[in-house]
Structure 1
Amino acid sequence: MDLIATILLFPVPYATELNPITTYFYEAIGVPGVVLAGSAYAAVVVLTGHYLSKPYDTLFATGAVLVYAVCAINNVVLLFSGDAPFELFVV
Structure 2
Amino acid sequence: VLIATWSEFGRRPKENASGGTDHGAAAPLLLIGDPVRSGLFGAEPSLTHLDSTGNLKYAVDFRSVYQEIVGGHLGADANDILGGSFDRVDFLRAPVAV
TM-score (norm 2): 0.35
Higher relative contact order (CA 8 A, sep 6+): 1
TM-score (norm 1): 0.36
Higher strand proportion: 2
The structure with the largest alpha-carbon Rg is 2
